[in-house]
Amino acid sequence: MLKGQAHKFGSDISTDLIAPGRYFHLRSNLPELAKHVLEDADPEFASIVKSGDFVVADSNFGLGSSREHAPIIIKMAGVAAVLAKSFARIFFRNAINVGLPVLICDTDQIGQGDELEVDLAAGIIKDKTNGIELTFSKIPEAMLKILDEGGLVPYIKKHGDFKL
């Protein structure tokens, strides 16, 4: 069970907003880059996010470039999962590959700062603040196999090949 606070974002949160190009030179220094996570969407976010919190967005989260640094630094910031109405496909696949759960659900009902409990196995999100219970779409089976191993590198280390 994951427990934490919701940090709300709008729609079309691009990878440029998550990991801005002006910090390109920090890509080989992920802890430094992580200090700027989501900076151009919410300059305060990196300083207020706590380990176990959730990023909760509208639709098309993670559109744009293929930079895997985007989901990596969201995860490094302590975010337990990203919840959105929809995700851009490269971001979704990258998030799974780096072991960051990405959940598709109706995020309209979740408020800024709400206390959430997410049961990944059961597919249920409880909003303790407003008492609402939401379900999220199942992660596709092939991706769940990768996520279950903690990401693509551990998956390949264990299986040596794609056994999807």
Partner 1 sequence: MGKTLVEKILSNKSGTDAVAGGIAIAKVDVAFVQDGTGPLAVRQFDEAGFAKVANPDKSILFLDHAAPSPNQQLSNDHMLLRQFSKNTGVQLSEVGEGVCHQIVAESYASPGDVVVGADSHTVTAGAFSAVATGMGSTDIAVAMALGKTWFRVPETYKIVVNGKFQKGVYPKDLILHLIGMIGADGATYKALEFAGDTIDAMSMVGRLTIANMAVEAGAKVGLFASDETTRDYLIKQGRGDSYVAIAPDADAVYERVIEIDAGTIEPTVSKPHTVDNTALAKELGDVKIQQVFMGTCTNGRLNDFAVAAGILKGKKRHADTRLLIAPASRKVLSDAIAAGYIQTLLDAGATIMPPGCAACVGVHQGILGDGEVCLSTANRNFKGRMGNPDSYIYLASPATAAASAITGRITDPREVV
Interface with partner 1 by CB under 8 A: which residues? 12, 14, 16-17, 20-22, 24-29, 40, 59-60, 63-69, 72, 86, 88-90, 93-94, 97-98, 140, 142, 151-153, 156-157, 161-162, 164
Tell me, what DSSP letter sits at residue 14?
-
Task: Report, in Å, the least distance between residue 115 CB and partner 1.
Answer: 29
State the Cα–Cα distance between residues 145 and 135, nearest whole angstrom.
Answer: 20
Beta bridge partners of 116: 4, 127
Task: Report, in Å, the least distance between residue 164 CB and partner 1.
Answer: 5
Residue 4 vs 93, nearer CB to partner 1: 93
> Using an 8 Å Cβ cutoff, are 53 and 78 in contact?
yes
* Coil, strand or helix at 72: helix
* Coil, strand or helix at 119: strand
State the Cα–Cα distance between residues 164 and 93, nearest whole angstrom.
Answer: 14
Residue 17 vs 134, nearer CB to partner 1: 17
Residue 74 vs 90, nearer CB to partner 1: 90
Residue 26 vs 82, nearer CB to partner 1: 26
Task: Report, in Å, the least distance between residue 72 CB and partner 1.
Answer: 8
Distance set, CA 20 to CA 27, 71, 152 (Å): 10, 13, 25
Residue 48 vs 164, nearer CB to partner 1: 164
Pick from 97, 10, 3, 1: nearest CA to 50: 3
Residue type, 142: A
Task: Report, in Å, the least distance between residue 79 CB and partner 1.
Answer: 17
Task: Report, in Å, the least distance between residue 105 CB and partner 1.
Answer: 16
